[in-house]
Amino acid sequence: MATATARPPSAAACPGCVATPTEPARPIPEDVQLALSLPTIHCQACISKVERALNAVPGVQSARVNLTLKRAMIQAEPEMRADALIPVLKAEGFEAHELDAGALSVTGSDKAGRELLMRLAVAGFASMNVMLLSVSVWSGATDATRDMFHWISAAIALPAIAFAGKPFFESAWSALRVRRLNMDVPIVLAIVLALVTSLWETALSGEHAYFDAALTLVFFLLAGRYLDHRTRAIARSAAQELSALEVPRALRIEDGVEHEVAVADLRVGDLIRVRPGGRMPVDGEIVEGQSELDRSLLTGETVPVYAEPGTSVSAGEVNLTGPLTIRASAVGSDTSLHQMADLVAVAESGRSRYTSLADSAAKLYAPGVHILSALSFVGWYLYSGDLRSALNIAAAVLIITCPCALGLAVPAVTTAASGRLFRKGMLIKHSTALERLAEIDTVVFDKTGTLTQGTPELTNLDGIPHEIASIAVGLAGASSHPLSRAVTQAAEAAGIKPAEVSDVTEVPGFGTQGMLNGQTVRFGRAAWVGAEQGVHTAAWLSVDGADPVEFQFNDALRPGAEEAVSSLIASGKQVILMSGDTTGAVQALAERLGIADWLAEALPQDKAARIAEMTEKGQRVLMVGDGLNDTAALTAAHVSISPATALDAARVASDIVLLGTDLSPIAEACDVAKKATRRIRENFRIATVYNVIAVPLAVAGLATPLIAALAMSTSSITVSLNALRLR
Amino acid sequence: MEVISFLIPISLFLGAVGLIAFVYTVRSNQYDDPEGDARRILNDEWDDKPKP
């Protein structure tokens, strides 16, 4: 597994590592084969119980629990399967899910984060030392002592900045190479100019050296970078965990025997067994078996479709009742599931590139600073004719205006806001998602699986005679079909006992039948029991000779859907419902939730086109959807949200993932996003105020390293504290 | 003022020790599971002898 080996074996690229004792990093087991997600563990007792239980299983070499990630990594013999370990943990009382160790590999060792932390530590160490030396200079050291202190500062600052400032140098260089300015260009210019003039001053035993300012600048900016990186790393690891929960395996039939293989190993023409409840791994044609298919994630239809030999199936559909054998006709990237990706690519190219607040601030700021400092250099050079003092003043202007606070302004706020939303069950995946969320004025919802749970709910139980209902419950109990489960649930809630039905058998694709007092009873599709299919989703119960009785179903609303919709409407946003489901179903739901604007039987292209059209009219659209048919729309929208139950493709396409089942945080997220954006702007303003006060001093040649240090630290701290008000 | 010729190297050395110690903790994955490690120390399972 690539978990641990992603790190180069000898990471001696950094000076800090050369100084490290030669002891190698604690070896993370290189062949971690299994990863389990343990959502319920929370204490020391859980850790030892889980580890003891797992280590006791023969074949397990070692198991280690990570409580922070709520995960267990298990090193085991090659033939060990997670299915064998999950029951062991269940017996101990822990819920466990298998994670795809391959999909987790990137989170295993967060190399970039570690590197940033190392640079932050070096910058912190160096700036503290240099600051101490500078304090003694400010408090009156003179002559040879001052020169010595300056030389020592230089000896610390130069290597420390060369190492710690590398991200800024790289980013500034890559911007300059394409002839553009970003925030890092003035930063790098300030650092380099400060070092050069300070060295020059020191060599001439001058009074002012800015080594401490250059280092503190790097330290504060790295702190901002690190915060930013950590927020995104947390979101990424949680998003990866969601995808890792879907382990891509399939049952291939070879010579009449089922073998479990990875989906990536399937080939066209393979025979694949799909058990009830399983998802189609590939596109293909049914060769054996009868069942019903749930296509809701692909098309938005809630009513299951009948399937028999000859029916073609697409990857992503869920098999409901009977086992099916399919012959693969397209695998991997040729499947219809992947072809949807082309549609997403088209939508992506149409998405207007959003400029983040930080970038637009940098665009205003960078040229201004450069011009100001160049002007003060030219002015002082013409006035005094002294190159040295003119250069000194130019450096002071650059350092004082340097965007220390600007560099912290955005990451500090997004960290605070993302942390708050994460506790509410929202995962901010994209770095500018919050800023974009703050701008929206239109919200588009998908129906099936987003506003509704995608599971049916029995609606007319009150209108059905008690004895008929109890027969239905007796038959439904034997089936795992969603409609049957809905009947069982509704009956339990109403306290209806199942009738004693004997010889219950499930006829895949049709329904269940059994014997009651010598009569055949059937519960299933309209055509099978001899009834007329209406507009509703329905199942029918027939007792020999009598008229069939209709059981009507409705798609159950997701918790919080009503609150989310009504508070979005109340805050003045236009709410639209777009679904691939039938007109009747969509209209009923729209009326129930009070949504005036709805679109039914929409193809994926239609959804994306409608959103693109609204965007063109200047509307900012938030798309909330979960299905494969929504991915193009999710990408086309200004910002997008998908629930955790969504298909992987939809989650990847969206900026924000809802972790819980509840939809109500959406409205709150909009408020938090607005507040966060306001806070970011406030931070920019605070930073500007500090500049407005300090810059005239610098231009007038009155700035000293002490003033620079004070301005830099106070503005950075004010900005961070302002951001913390969001928590 | 001769004393600073000792004091400065000593303070730099102590600072460097701290930095190296920090680098060592980062490189040996000691920040991977802060919550779990905080709890593990309360475990009395291997109090008598170290885990083999």
Task: Report pLDDT digits (tens) over A583-601.
Answer: 887 888 888 888 888 888 8
Q: Do B12 and A145 touch (CB under 8 A)?
A: no
**Over the range A3-18, which residues count as b (16 or more CB within 10 Å of their CB) and which as e?**
bbeeeeeebeebebee
Check: complex ipTM more than 0.85: no
Task: Give the span between the Cα atoms of A168 and A643, in whole angstroms.
Answer: 36
Among A586, A111, A711, which residue's Cα sits nearest to residue A719?
A711
Query: Quick one: pLDDT at residue A548?
Result: 82
Higher pLDDT, A610 or A660: A610
* Closest in B15, B20, B31 to A20, CB measured: B20
Using DSSP bridges, classify how beta strands A656-658 and A312-313 pair: parallel, antiparallel or unpaired.
unpaired
* Distance of alpha carbon A34 from alpha carbon A39, whole angstroms: 16
Among A212, A446, A555, A581, the one annotated catalytic: A446
The distance in angstroms from the start CA to the end CA of chain B is 54
Contact between residue B36 and residue A67 where contact means Cβ atoms under 8 Å apart = yes
Count how many pairs of residues, chain A against chain B, have C-beta atoms within 8 Å: 74
Whether the per-residue pLDDT at A162 is higher than 90: the answer is: yes
Going by DSSP bridges, is the β-strand pair A621-624/A442-446 parallel, antiparallel, or unpaired?
Answer: parallel
Alpha helices (H) in A385-465, listed in sequence order: 387-400, 404-423, 433-437
Domains of chain A and CATH, by start: 15-109 (3.30.70.100), 112-239+357-413+675-724 (no CATH), 249-341 (2.70.150.10), 426-441+559-659 (3.40.50.1000), 455-556 (3.40.1110.10)
Q: In terms of CA atoms, which chain B residue is nearest residue A44?
A: B39
pLDDT for position A28: 44
Residues A552-564: tens digit of each pLDDT: 887 788 888 888 8
How many CB atoms sit inside 10 A of residue A452's CB? Answer: 24
Looking at A71-142, list the stretches that DSSP marks H as alpha helix, in order from N- to C-terminal side: 82-92, 101-108, 111-138
Lowest mean pLDDT among A228-242, A517-531, A652-666: A228-242
Contact B45 A48 (CB under 8 A): yes
Does A294 qualify as catalytic in the annotation? Answer: no
A56 alpha carbon, distance to own chain's centre: 36
Residue A431 is predicted with a pLDDT of 77
- Adjacent-strand bridge partners of A621: A442
- Nearest CA among A260, A470, A393 for reference residue A698: A393
Contact (CB, 8 A) for A130 and A211: yes
Residues of B in contact with A109 (CB under 8 A): 29
Q: What is the mean pLDDT of chain A?
A: 80
* Residue with more model confidence, A345 or A367: A367
Contact B33 A68 (CB under 8 A): yes
Q: Rounded CA gap, A461 and A542, in Å?
A: 16
**Cβ distance A168 to A188 under 8 Å?**
yes
φ and ψ of A64, to 5 deg: -135, 130
Helix (H, G, I), strand (E, B) or coil at A45: helix
Q: Which residue has the higher pLDDT, A349 or A569?
A: A569
Contacting B with CB below 8 Å, chain A residues are 11, 16-17, 19-21, 23, 25-26, 28, 43-44, 47-48, 65-69, 109, 114, 117-118, 121-122, 125, 128-129, 132, 145, 152, 156
The structure tokens listed for B23 are: 């680098």
A156-165, A336-345, A438-447, A572-581 — most confident range = A156-165
Which region among A186-195, A528-537, A672-681, B28-37 has the lowest average model confidence (pLDDT)?
A528-537
For helices A665-699 and A705-724, what crossing angle results, to 10°?
Answer: 170
Backbone angles phi, psi at A574, to 5 degrees: -80, 125
